[in-house]
Amino acid sequence: MEASFWNGKRAPGISDSIDLTAYSSAVEAIEEAFIKYPDRPAFTSLGHTLSYKEIDQYSAAFAHYLQNHTALVPGDAIAIQMLNTLQYPIAVFGAMRAGLRIVNTNPLYTEREMIHQFNDSGAKALLCMDIFAKSVENIQGDTNLELIITTSLADMVPGVKRLIINSTVKHIKKMVPKYHLPQAESFRKLLKQSFGKGFKPAHLSQPEDTIVLQYTGGTTGVAKSAELTNANIIANMLQAGSVVRQHDEHGEPMMKGKQSIMVAPLPLYHIYSFTVHLMAFFRLGEHSVLIANPRDTETFIKAMKPFKITGLMGLNTLFVSLMESDNFKQLDFSEMKFTLSGGTALMDDTANRWKAITGVGISEAYGLTECSPAVCMNPINGLERVGTVGQALQHTALKCIDALGDEVPVGQRGELCVKGPQVMKGYWNRPKATRESFTQDGDWLLTGDVAIIDEDGYVSIVDRVKDMIIVSGFNVFPNEIEAVVSEHPDITNCAAIGIPDSKTGEAVKLYIVTHNNITLTAEEIRAFCKDKLTNYKIPRQFEFRKELPMSPVGKILRRKLKEDSTGEQKIA
């Protein structure tokens, strides 16, 4: 369906169109925010806050250094490998202002994955946290890196507190392995040396210029990089930002007259957090609280405590871990307006429990790296439709197709296809992979997700095409099974996969994590599922674990479970 299908269906205050020509470059939007909101707090990390003016000054200093003390030129690529700290926005904005392309790098990459990404992207420079510098030392001879810059966790925190945090991380927690990179520059020192010296505007200014090379690990094989252009990032910045302009029940803008305080636990190297926090929310003058390690639940909660937060962006596993803590339930939610979820399926039980504790529903969104990433978003503040990922963003067309490539009617399942201004230019240096990721006419991006679009334009993601389990010829979707099992009061997490079966072709195997290691039996879980799932959907095999393999952003890795499926099993 064309983009106009969704017009008139969106929540009050959410426009049906945006001005895609408002900015020619992402840097233009960032610098506008510097001018409009100089005295507002921009980012907080480790208890320290920098204003928009300070982010402007520090990023300008980094741009000066890159232009005057390195051989880098506009169009070169710089890899950034850090946790969520104040250095991240400074580095991204500074590099962009100097005309460099950003290569967001997962800190948990193996050395083999780092070599591939740095060489594939052509990265000439790397800014990394010293926690990961030993790996950089080990691989530097296998890359074309000309410049290495290191930083410590609390480098932007002033005074004694910086020394205490960095010393604790290095000497007490032993998180910084000994490394030898004598040629590496210190991020903190170079900012100090270049502060206030200015730079020459040299950013990639054309809409079609690629400004971010974002690697995606969502498919098997070698990681590919989506080329995201100025036009892609600007479109998604404006699209995502428009959702928080929704009106309340009185017809007033929900965020009227107040700066929003947004919590950012998802890593900024992930395109979801990158676009929302560094682009969309920053352009609107909002305040982001950066969480370096969201898996440390109590420290995460402590970081939120000083603020009356407006919104939080996370995913199902993160919400579950927060709700397990009594300290989370003691936070002040009086100013909270919305919670955004994306990256993996949101369970109904999680959404219901979250609303009972915070008073705010979870608005699930949907996107993928190749779309910068947002495609659909739910309304906020009570208008969200649980079980869906909302409606298509402005200027975005969606359709579902069958195995032959024909569009299916509204309400029927099919592979979701996307067309819109946020869709990538293509995969970096991979024309064949680019062609294969689009329909034959080249107009529609194939997502690999099975979806249903209803009459109101709400989209439900049923599952991944590759994760679908075929039991005796019937299609079984893991998300459906997981949603049912997650309602069991003693179960924290679960994941369903397909395993070979001599009678039915495939059978469902379920991996389970229970609350506080409570003992459950396969028979008890089968009984729980009996009235909620058709017989062929009920798991045949069960495996109980203390934890499930997850990506750094909290996605359960079904692929890893399939590889491990020969482990010890409990069979019903």
Q: Which residues pair with 226 in a beta bridge?
A: 214, 427
Residues 6 or more apart whose CB falls under 8 angstroms from that of 167 comprise none
| pLDDT tens, position by position, 245-295 | 888 877 888 877 789 999 999 999 999 999 999 999 999 999 999 999 999
> Are 91 and 190 contacting, i.e. CB atoms less than 8 angstroms apart?
no
pLDDT of residue 554: 81
Could you give the dihedral angle defined by the CA atoms of residues 387, 391, 397 and 401, in that order, rounded to the nearest 10 degrees?
Answer: 20
| pLDDT tens, position by position, 338-351 | 999 987 778 888 99
Domains and CATH numbers, the chain: 39-205 (3.40.50.980), 469-571 (3.30.300.30)
| pLDDT tens, position by position, 182-231 | 999 999 999 999 999 999 999 999 999 999 999 986 434 578 999 999 99
Mean of all residue pLDDT scores within the chain: 93
8-state DSSP, 281:
I
pLDDT of residue 569: 41
- pTM of model > 0.85: yes
Tokens of 66: 């890159």
For range 136-148, the mean pLDDT = 96
Q: Which helix (H) or strand (E) holds 470?
A: strand 469-471
pLDDT of residue 570: 39
Q: Which residues pair with 509 in a beta bridge?
A: 497, 541
* CA 45 vs CA 150, 390, 517: distances in Å: 18, 31, 34
| pLDDT tens, position by position, 151-193 | 999 999 999 999 999 999 999 999 999 999 999 999 999 999 9
Residues 6 or more apart whose CB falls under 8 angstroms from that of 288 comprise 42, 43, 44, 262, 263, 264, 277, 281, 282
Q: How far apart are CA 127 and CA 114, in angstroms?
A: 13
Q: Which residues pair with 568 in a beta bridge?
A: none
pLDDT of residue 221: 54
| pLDDT tens, position by position, 14-36 | 999 999 999 999 999 999 999 99
At 534, the pLDDT band (50, 70, 90 cuts) reads confident
Instruction: Of 474, 425, 478, give the one whose Cα is nearest residue 226.
Output: 425
Residues 6 or more apart whose CB falls under 8 angstroms from that of 353 comprise 323
pLDDT of residue 479: 87
Strands (DSSP E) found in 76-122: 77-81, 101-104
DSSP string, 45-84: ETTEEEEHHHHHHHHHHHHHHHHHSS---TT-EEEEE--S
**Burial degree of 251 (CB within 10 A; 0-12, 13-18, 19+):** exposed
> Are 393 and 422 contacting, i.e. CB atoms less than 8 angstroms apart?
yes
Q: Which residues pair with 70 in a beta bridge?
A: none
Does 319 or 248 have the greater pLDDT score? Answer: 319
| pLDDT tens, position by position, 47-63 | 999 999 999 999 999 99
